[in-house]
Amino acid sequence: MKEALILAIESSCDDTGAAVLRGRKVLSNVVAGQSVHEKYGGIVPELASRSHQQNIVPVVQQALERAGVTKEELDAVAFTKGPGLLGSLLVGSSFAKAFSMALNKPLIEINHMEAHILAHFIEGETPPPPFPFICLTVSGGHTQLVKVSAPDVFEILGETIDDAAGEAFDKIAKIMNFPFPGGPMIDKLAKDGNPDKFAFAHPKVPELNFSFSGLKTSVLYFLKKEVLKNPNFIEENKVDLAASVQKTIIDILMKQLKKAADQNGITHVAIAGGVSANSGLRAALQAQNAWTSYVPKFEFCTDNAAMIGIAAHFKFIKGEFSDQSSKASARLEM
Ligand code: KG4
Ligand code: ZN
């Protein structure tokens, strides 16, 4: 029997995504970003939902065209239920519900954070991690250590008590006057910098949790002090600053990840979410010889609908469908 053909929609934050999957294979994966937020140095929720509203129809159309399928051929439509910005989630969920009703197709609701992790199961050249594995999920809104025992069994071992890792990259980049989102820019500059030039203190957090707001504050005070002495300090030192900040964030993440893997006796270790696109973090993970490490393809790290589609694939197999009463949920737990 042919595997299910699923249309997946992602609209949790500032990227409008649509993808078509046949089983674990991605037939198309379209993402429309939103440059409208750049000048504000962060995502403006009201503008994000308006842009989703403008983008959703053409993005879905393109995904169907690129996959070479008609909407009638689809076996189900999946969407991101949460977590995320409510106004953004409502656009994707309303669209999916209307689509499902008009075409009489089953509806599948997906947790965005689970989808980031399940992106590892998209068909590709590398084998997916075997269960159980540990996943460090790092995005603009979340930083979590998760023990994954099955496609629908997730145990959160630890998480951030304040800012997310991506938020730390973005807020520190903003202090240095880099464009939003700052993570990719810090990554790029860090390649030419000395990661040991500036030292920033590590937070003291219990168990397997994280904290990044202290780092942001110490970078802010350090730069204020240096800029008073030399107004060009940031410009003159930007590559070393980027490299030092990036190293500190990676060291904080890797320390807790190692602890989690050791405590659970698990050697299959993965990363997921937007910050897993970071070249320093990818290298740090792959340098752990005691582990088999799993790093997603770049296009499946930052927000995309293919990951929603793979998560829906597992739900389709189990017959886990929802109905028109399904609601978007900004604070959806795993
Ligand atoms: O998963 P994602 O696309 O959206 C959320 O669900 O939040 O993650 C976005 C985050 C942003 O904070 C962005 O700066 C960060 O991922 N990011 C990076 C890199 N690429 C994206 N951070 C560091 N290095 C990168 N190369
Ligand atoms: Zn995300």
The ligand whose atoms approach the alpha carbon of 85 most closely is 1
Longest dimension (CA), the chain: 71
Per-residue b or e along 37-60, where b marks 16 or more CB atoms closer than 10 Å to that residue's CB: beeebbbbbeebbbbbbebbeebb
pLDDT at 193: 98
Residues measured by CB to lie within 5 Å of ligand 2, the ion: 139, 303
Which whole-number Å values give the CA distances from 201 to 130, 217, 245, 247, 252, in the listed order?
A: 36, 11, 11, 12, 10
Give the tokens for residue 4: 């299910």
Distance 273 CA to ligand 2 centre (A): 6
The ligand whose atoms approach the alpha carbon of 246 most closely is 1
pLDDT at 40: 84
- Euclidean distance between CA atoms 24 and 168, whole angstroms: 33
Q: How many CB atoms lie within 10 A of CB 277?
A: 22
Residue nearest to atom 10 of ligand 1 (CA): 140
What is the spatial order of strands in the sheet that 25-32 belongs to? 25-32, 16-22, 5-10, 76-82, 107-111
pLDDT at 126: 85
Cis check for the bond before 181: say yes or no (omega within 30 of 0). Answer: yes
- Euclidean distance between CA atoms 61 and 261, whole angstroms: 43
Nearest 5°: CA angle at 114, between 320 and 281? Answer: 160
Over the stretch 258-314, which tens digit does the pLDDT of each residue have? Answer: 999 999 999 999 999 999 999 999 999 999 999 999 999 999 999 999 999 999 999
Q: Which atom of ligand 1 is nearest to the CA of 140?
A: 7
Query: Which of the residues in the chain have pLDDT under 70?
Result: none
Distance 274 CA to ligand 1 centre (A): 3
Distance 320 CA to ligand 1 centre (A): 30
Residue among 10, 302, 304 to mutate when testing ligand 1 (max atoms within 8 A of CB): 302
Length of the chain: 334
Over the stretch 87-97, which tens digit does the pLDDT of each residue have? Answer: 999 999 999 99
CA proximity to 76, closest of 62, 96, 57: 96
Ligand 1 contacts (CB < 6 A) are 13, 139-141, 166, 169-170, 181-184, 187, 273-275, 277-278, 302-303
All domains of the chain in start order, with CATH: 5-120+303-318 (3.30.420.40), 130-296 (3.30.420.40)
Task: List residues bridging with 31 in a β-sheet.
Answer: 17
- Euclidean distance between CA atoms 88 and 68, whole angstroms: 27
- Euclidean distance between CA atoms 330 and 141, whole angstroms: 11
Considering the entire predicted model, what is its pTM?
0.96
What is the C-alpha radius of gyration for the chain, rounded to an integer number of angstroms? Answer: 20
Give the tokens for residue 146: 């998760």
pLDDT at 2: 86
Distance 333 CA to ligand 1 centre (A): 20
Residue nearest to atom 3 of ligand 1 (CA): 302
Distance 200 CA to ligand 2 centre (A): 27
CA 157 to chain centre: 18
For the chain, strand residue ranges (E) read 5-10, 16-22, 25-32, 76-82, 107-111, 133-138, 143-150, 153-159, 268-272, 292-294
Which whole-number Å values give the CA distances from 42 to 161, 183, 203, 218, in the listed order?
A: 21, 12, 25, 21
For 60-162, strand residue ranges (E) read 76-82, 107-111, 133-138, 143-150, 153-159
- Euclidean distance between CA atoms 289 and 293, whole angstroms: 9
